[in-house]
Each structure stands twice: as structure tokens, then as C-alpha cells.
Structure 1
Amino acid sequence: MMKTAQKPLIILGSAASYSNSTDSIRELIETIKFPVMTEGDARGMIPDSNEFSCGFFDNGLNLAAKKIRETDLLILLGRKQDLIIGYAMHPVVPSSAKIIQIDPDGAIIGRNRKVDVGITGDIGNIIPQILSESKKHKWNNLQWLEELKEAQETQKKQLEINAQNQNPMHASFVHKTVSEILTDEDILVFDGGDFCHFGRAFHQANSPKSWWYLPTSGMLGQAIPTALAAKIAHPNKRVFMFSGDGAFGFNGFEYDTAVRHDLPFIGIMGNDSTWGIDKHIQEKVFGKTVATKLLPSRYDQVVSGLGGYSEYVTESSELKNALNRAINQQLPSLLNVQISNSISPRAEAAVTKWKSHTLEPM
């Protein structure tokens, strides 16, 4: 199957990160020259900058991921057959596509769609065996990889258009400005919501354990506690936390915990005084909104009152200097950034799903 595939796609899920398999997986991919996407805890295992990486697997945030509909061989490494990949069913994964699924949990394999090859076991033990066999064969560069890269470039150009300098700021401008001061070793933590969806489309993951988005841990409100955990685990690394104004309300008072335990991180809030993703979905699916308007609350003052550092940023020209000040404070910080209310690619994908009444993932 691997030798005859013309449009193979490897997706690394969280379970791929549970063993020390980063080096062997990277060597396998560079040997067989298959395009790969990462998701969940596996983000950064294969750097987004790797020549065979096609970035983040998210149908709503990566145009290359949408091309899973064309694959003839899907290799799931520690990746469930769930909603994110349309349960591995048509129309998301073609009925004619072959599937190889490898997972430490045998109950996961073939749960929604029968696989052609299923292997249960520690991925760190299995991949070296596949690599050893793969090295006995010659592998060619695939035109398919170029097609996926072109889709990524199209997406990048759209994000750059969104990131133009204007007031109020577009979410993409905020993320672009932050990206200019990031290093590959920085840890990024994303909450749910439109502001963060724009960020997950924009930022890259180039080192393991550097990218955290945990929607199954409650979706909204998990970013601040996760940022605290990341700082405890990696005290010498910078931790950047992204949150919308809606998500902040769930666990914002954990800034008190951060201050008491001396856990500095840099929080960036995109504040549009709206339950953004809900507003856009309601408007486009139902034609009206219910309870989506929020107040222009000064969450920065809350953080200051708890002993952290904060600024209220309303002008694009102020943002970069505010970021540098927050970094230099060595305190739990929050930049409350006023942004425009814009629909994210993820929200647009959700609208398409509900209107189509299909298994299209969000």
C-alpha cells in the first residue's frame, strides 16, 4: 500500500507523543517522503518547517487539511477516527482510500471505519520496525506534496491580507505581531473561540511540547490553567497564553494562583466584547443572534488587582511595545487588546457543516 500510494497522508495524533518516538517518526517521514500533518499533543513533533510537513491538521484552519478528501492512503499514528477527521468516513476520507492505523489502544483501531492494516502497540516500538523495512526500498518525491504546499500558501496569503495594520486590530494582526517576537522554544497555549482559532491558523509549531490546545478539556477556559502547568513543567521557557474575552471569564481568577506561586506567563486577550464564534454561527445559520453580546470589560484591571501586570491596548502602534513590556515584567501578565469582530475560518467551517447536514468536520 505504501509503495503504490500516489496521495498518501500521515496524521500524527496525541498518542504519537506518548513515547520517545519523535526522532524515529521524523526519520521515517524523511525516508518515505510522505506528507505529514500534526494535531493535538503531537504538534511540533515534526516541525512545521520540515519539508514534508503540511502543518496543523484542522479542516477549518488549514486548506491543506481539506485535501484529505483526495487521499488514497491515510496513515493514522496515534490519531482517533473521530469528528475531526469525519470519523474517517466519506465524504471526508474517500471510500476508496486505504487506511493504516497504529495506536497503543486497540479499542481505538477501526472504531468507526474498518482499516486495512491495524497495529496495536507502543508507537515508539513500532515505528523503528517500519523504518527498517522502508530503508530497503526507493521512495520518490510526490507531486501530491506540492499540491498540499500550494494549498498552504493560499491560506498564508489570506492570513497576511487579514493582518494588515488597522484599528480596531484584526485578530490576525495581533497574532502576526506576536509571531515576530517568538522563538521555536517558546510555549504557546490556546483557548477556544474565534480569536484563538485565528492564532492556531497563523502560528507554527517547530519543537515538541511547545503547542497546547485542549478542546476536550472543556473547550473554553482551559488555557490559563494549562499555561500555569506549562510554566511549572518548563520554568526556563517563555509561555504565551491566548484567550478571547469570553473564555477569560471561566478561569481568569487563576491569575491569583499564578501570582501566589510566582508563575509568570504572557497572556494576550483578543477582546471584541462578543461571544464571537457563537455570534457568527447564529447569524449565518439562523439569521439572528441570542445572548452573544458582551460588555467592553477591563479584564486588564482584574489582573492588576490580583497582583499581575496588565495593559489595555487599543492602537495597533502600541501593541509591540506593550508585548515587550509584558515580557520584561517577569510577572503573570495580560494584554487586553481591542480587536474587530471577524469570523474565523473555523467558524466558517462550522457554518458549512451545519448547513450541509453532512459529516463534514468543523
Structure 2
Amino acid sequence: MSSAETEQTTAVHGGKLIARRLKAHGVTKIFTLSGGHIFPIYDGCRAEGIDIVDTRHEQAATFAAEGWAKVTREVGVAAVTAGPGVTNAMSALGSAQMNQSPIAVLAGRAPALRWGSGSLQEIDHIPFVRPLTKSAQTADSPAEIPGLVDDAIATALAPHSGPTFVDFPMDHVFSEAPDPGTPVAPRDPEGGPEADGGQLDRAIALLRDAERPVVMAGTNLYWGHGEVALLELCEELGVPVFLNGMARGCVPADHRLAFSRARSEGLKGADVAIVIGVPMDFRLAFGGAFGEQTELIVVDRAEAIREHPRQVAAELVGSIAGTLRALTAGAKGAQDTSAWVARLRASETEKRAAEAAELTDGRSPLHPMRLYKELAEVVDRDAIIIGDGGDFVSYAGKVIDSYEPGCWMDPGPFGCLGSGPGYALAAKLARPDKQVVLMLGDGAFGFGGMEYDTLARHGVNVVGVMGNNGIWALEKHPMEFLYGYSVAAELTPRTRYDLVVEALGGHGELVEDPDAVKGALHRAFEAGKPALVNVLTDPSVAYPRRSNLA
């Protein structure tokens, strides 16, 4: 028997079984908060050379797993202890579900041998975790552990990707079983065959005749590695592109066919719209963002999770990259779209020009648009920008441009504040050569501000830029519009969050004048430690919100 065979058949404890399967799948880091129920997982990861990155809250650990998935397009892994460790991770699980982010959450569990006797943190996680995950399972023996880890990772990555959960009773994870050493098959990142031929023919016919086509692409374009094929389609057929979610940057913002400000005119005025990897939820006015006569071609990695709110002309399910290439090949020689593109470019230019006054606003406290103008002139083209907040981050989504895939992260449709520090931690660990900028509101800081300790302890040099207006702006302004007053919408003005960051081992600076922003940002990037530029912004400025939340 060879030494490799001997190692595989030798019994090892459950934590080593877990770690060996993680390593087989290419996992290099787990995000966690310490707990006795999962000590064997740490022991296994230490033995296998998997980095253990500990945070100050299980929500941050699980958001970090999602951030890892978002920036790498590989599975992110969080390990949390039993009971409150799992309940603390629930919001991040909900976020990963709605963002279709592939993460695996591995949890401790009270001993099976004493189940029902009232052990520490004894609670059945599965019933309340299952609605937020693609799969939720409990190991019934040490021998089951390797297969459950394999299933959790494979299921998380399979279209539609999303979160999975496995918990391990304490007696099982401390006990031993043989390591099966099962090899992992290579995974095709583009994910399977192109769409059904009949639907494809219908879509090609529509595209060939379209005079005003558009693309509206979202997060599943990114998960499906479809950016190269999308660019080929748009350039070959002359189709204007609008992007949201993780699709931002999949076509560079300065490409001649990339648009953002002209979205309403583009979607309403299109005769054919290719809707790629994005649900028609509140962000697209439940389908109402498109014109009544617009023919919709829906492209996605798997069958729609919910029924489309309006009729579609063709629905193409399968490999996004393969499907887009088939559309490009089939629709060659389509109508000339140059007049349509020129019309949208004129609208885009006009709307950008209308923003000039806000971008150069000299008020103090600052207008958020002025702050983002100053930031845009400092960050690198491939900087990873992360948003965590309400109105302040809404302005960022409007103003900040992305030029490469995986360089924009926000909470997504779940809208959970506190995601930013975990995302930033993972992003900088995954891409240490890139600038990572965390844009956060003063309200959002309250959810995850202690994670600056995590950033400092691990030497993760993220630059935070805070819009500090002393209110919950996303609630205060709409409530005052509706009722003439607001309640539960005030924070303490001018709070020195920068001093909190300094106390936690980072670099902090307060900024009140717009002309001082750029210098403060340069000092933050040069600090060699996690930083927060705490910028006072004008609480009277309200983001012009149009979307219908319900």
C-alpha cells in the first residue's frame, strides 16, 4: 500500500475530514469567530494550510465568505459555532441567497449523543436555516462528513448559485473516520450547454430585425463568466449596454456602448431588450422599466426563480457565455444601430453635464456628489469599490464607474447594512495588489465598525470613506415627505468615527472642507494600515429616489 493510500485510509477526526475536503476543492481561507464546537475544524485547517481569518461577529465572517465569492467567483466558506453563531450569520445567509452568491457555512452543533438533554447552545438550526439556503444538512456520523462537505460546495456553485449549510454535532466532529480522499472533478466556469434551439431561433430573428436593441445585464452575467461573450455581442451587433449588480464593470464604463444615465430612455425606447442574469424586481420596476412594446429576450443560467412579471418573447436557459455567442453568430448582419446609439449617447452626455454643479459643489458639510468626484480622481482603474449604506451609497452607485469585473460590491436587493467590512476584508485578502475602498454611511458603521479591529489585526489595508450626515437619510427624508415629521431617524452629528478607528489600530482623519478630501484620501492610502476618512456631509441632501420598494 502506498503512503498516499495509507494516509487516505487512516482514521482522522471530523475536523480534518472537513479541512481535507475544503482543500481538495481549492479553498484557501475560512472566515470565522471562535467557538468550542468547531475547534476540530480549526485543527484540520491548520494541518492542511488553510488560513483561519477570525472576525468580531459571525455576521461579518459570513459576509466575508460572500465577499470572497463575489471577488473570486469561487465558493466562500464561513465556520461558525452552534446556536448564536448560526443565528448571527442569518442576515448574511439571506444576502447570499438574494445575490446568488456561492458560499458554504459550516457550523457546530450540540452533541447528538445528548440531544434533547439541554446541552450548551442546543438548538436545531436546520428548520430556520433551510429557507435561506439551497441545502441545509446535519452530519449523522463522522463517516458522512466528507460527502456532506462535497455536496455543500457543489450545490453552492451549481446554477443558480447560492448559500449552503452543514452543521456537525460536537461528538461527530471530534470523533474519527477514514478519509476517502475522493478527487474533485474540474469545473467548467461557463456552466453547461447553450439554450434551447427553438427559443434561440426566435431570439435571433428578433435581434436581426431590431432597430433599437439594448442589453440589461445583472449579477448572473458575472456568476456565469459571460463578460467576454457579452462584449463580443455588443460590438458585433452595436447594442447599447446597461449594467447593475455584480455585472458592473463587465463592460468597461468608458466603452462606446456602455451607458448608465440614459437607462430610462434606453429601456423604455428599445424595441428588443436582452435581459441577462437579472430579475425583473423592484430595481427594474417589476418589468415596467421597459417599454410596453419592447420584446424581451431573457437569458439566464437556470430557470427563473419566480415568474416573470410580464410576457417574454424568448427565454434562453443555459450557459450564458455559450448562449450569447450563439446569438452573436446568428444575428450577424442585423440592422444598423448607429442612430440609436448616437441618440442614447446624446442623452447620456446631457445628463452627465447636468450633474456638473453637484460634482463641483463647494458647500461644507459636503454634497455627497462632490465627495465621490474627489474619490474618483484618486482611485485606480481596477480598484475594488464596496458600498455599505443608504443614500450615501446610492450616490456612489450613480457616480462611481467600474471598468473590470468583480470591482463593485454592494449589499444587493437584500439591502443589509453591515456587509461592507466583511466584503472589504475578503476582497483585500483575495486581491492584495488592488486598492480596496469601503464607502459607508455613518449608520452602516454601527453594524460592523468593530471589524476595523479585524482589519488591523490581520494587516488588511482597506481605505474607508464615510459620508457622515448624522441621520438615517434613507428613512428621514421619505418619512418627512410622507408625514411632515420623522422619528427614529437621528444620529449624533459630527461623531468622531475616525477616532474609533484609530483606537482600533487604524488610521483616521476628519474632513469638513471639500478641498481637503483629496489630501486625506492620499494619506489614507499611504498609511499602511486600515483607514477611515470621516467626511461630514450635508444632511439636507436627499438622494432623488424613484424606485418602488414594493
Unaligned runs of 5+ in 1: 56-61, 354-360
Per-residue CA deviation, residues 260-311 of structure 1 (Å, 9 max, x unaligned), is 1111111000111111121111122222111211102111111111101100
Alignment check: 8 A CA contact 2:275 2:298 kept: yes
Give the structure 2 partner of residue 310 of structure 1: 508
Alignment check: 8 A CA contact 2:207 2:334 kept: no
Deviation at 1:63, TM superposition (A): 4.7
Which among 297, 302, 309 is matched to residue 112 of structure 1?
A: 309
d(CA) in 2 for partners of 1:211, 1:23: 18
Runs of 4+ in 1 over 6 A off after TM superposition: none
The code of the aligned residue for 1:87 comes to: F
d(CA) in 2 for partners of 1:70, 1:103: 23
Give the structure 2 partner of residue 191 of structure 1: 388
Instruction: Determine what percentage of the aligned residue pairs are the same residue.
Output: 29
Per-residue CA deviation, residues 141-167 of structure 1 (Å, 9 max, x unaligned), is 343323322332233223221122232
Which among 145, 150, 164 is matched to residue 346 of structure 2?
A: 150
Give the structure 2 partner of residue 357 of structure 1: none
d(CA) in 1 for partners of 2:428, 2:380: 16
Give the structure 2 partner of residue 130 of structure 1: 327
Give the 3-state SS of the residue equivalent to 2:311 in structure 1. Answer: coil
Deviation at 1:19, TM superposition (A): 2.9
Give the structure 2 partner of residue 321 of structure 1: 519
Query: Residue 217 and residue 256 in structure 1: after superposition, are their counterparts in 2 closer, same or farther (change >3 A)?
Result: farther
Out of 102-111 and 189-198, give the one that drifted further: 102-111
Deviation at 1:78, TM superposition (A): 0.9
Task: After TM superposition, list the pairs within 5 Å mapping 1:162-177 onto structure 2.
Answer: 162-163=358-359, 164-177=361-374
Which among 266, 269, 274 is matched to residue 75 of structure 1?
A: 274
Asked whether 1:13 is paired with 2:211, we answer: no
Deviation at 1:109, TM superposition (A): 7.6
Per-residue CA deviation, residues 183-222 of structure 1 (Å, 9 max, x unaligned), is 2111111123111111221111111111111233543221
Alignment check: 8 A CA contact 1:8 1:71 kept: yes
d(CA) in 1 for partners of 2:262, 2:394: 14
Deviation at 1:76, TM superposition (A): 0.7
Alignment check: 8 A CA contact 1:246 1:274 kept: yes
Which among 459, 476, 491 is matched to residue 262 of structure 1?
A: 459
Deviation at 1:332, TM superposition (A): 0.7
Asked whether 1:208 is paired with 2:208, we answer: no
Asked whether 1:30 is paired with 2:235, we answer: yes
d(CA) in 2 for partners of 1:18, 1:112: 23
The code of the aligned residue for 2:490 comes to: K
Task: After TM superposition, list the pairs within 5 Å mapping 1:333-348 onto structure 2.
Answer: 333-345=531-543, 347-348=544-545
Which among 255, 260, 264 is matched to residue 50 of structure 1?
A: 255
d(CA) in 1 for partners of 2:307, 2:292: 14
Give the 3-state SS of the residue equivalent to 1:183 in structure 2. Answer: coil
d(CA) in 2 for partners of 1:53, 1:174: 24
d(CA) in 2 for partners of 1:331, 1:342: 33
Give the 3-state SS of the residue equivalent to 1:349 in structure 2. Answer: coil
Out of 79-88 and 332-341, give the one that drifted further: 79-88
Alignment check: 8 A CA contact 2:411 2:417 kept: no
Alignment check: 8 A CA contact 2:270 2:290 kept: yes
The code of the aligned residue for 1:36 comes to: V
Give the structure 1 partner of residue 64 of structure 2: none
Query: Residue 71 and residue 131 in structure 1: after superposition, are their counterparts in 2 closer, same or farther (change >3 A)?
Result: closer
The code of the aligned residue for 1:128 comes to: R
d(CA) in 2 for partners of 1:145, 1:64: 12
Give the 3-state SS of the residue equivalent to 2:273 in structure 1. Answer: strand
Asked whether 1:349 is paired with 2:539, we answer: no
Q: How many residues align?
A: 343
d(CA) in 2 for partners of 1:317, 1:38: 32
Give the 3-state SS of the residue equivalent to 1:3 in structure 2. Answer: helix
Deviation at 1:182, TM superposition (A): 1.7
Give the structure 2 partner of residue 86 of structure 1: 285
Alignment check: 8 A CA contact 1:14 1:39 kept: yes
Deviation at 1:344, TM superposition (A): 4.2
Query: Residue 7 and residue 169 in structure 1: after superposition, are their counterparts in 2 closer, same or farther (change >3 A)?
Result: same
Alignment check: 8 A CA contact 1:197 1:344 kept: no
Alignment check: 8 A CA contact 1:170 1:342 kept: no
d(CA) in 2 for partners of 1:294, 1:340: 13
d(CA) in 1 for partners of 2:439, 2:216: 25
Per-residue CA deviation, residues 12-65 of structure 1 (Å, 9 max, x unaligned), is 11111123332221011001101111111111001111111113xxxxxx3533
Alignment check: 8 A CA contact 1:109 1:118 kept: no
d(CA) in 1 for partners of 2:324, 2:262: 28
d(CA) in 2 for partners of 1:68, 1:218: 24
Alignment check: 8 A CA contact 2:214 2:266 kept: no
Unaligned runs of 5+ in 2: 1-205
The code of the aligned residue for 2:523 comes to: R
Out of 170-179 and 94-103, give the one that drifted further: 94-103
Query: Residue 290 and residue 154 in structure 1: after superposition, are their counterparts in 2 closer, same or farther (change >3 A)?
Result: farther
Give the 3-state SS of the residue equivalent to 1:269 in structure 2. Answer: strand
Alignment check: 8 A CA contact 1:266 1:333 kept: yes
Give the structure 2 partner of residue 234 of structure 1: 431
Deviation at 1:134, TM superposition (A): 2.7
Out of 215-224 and 165-174, give the one that drifted further: 215-224
The code of the aligned residue for 1:309 comes to: H
Out of 163-172 and 27-36, give the one that drifted further: 163-172
Please give the TM-score of this superposition, normalised by the length of structure 2: 0.60
User: Which structure has the larger Rg over C-alpha atoms?
Assistant: 2
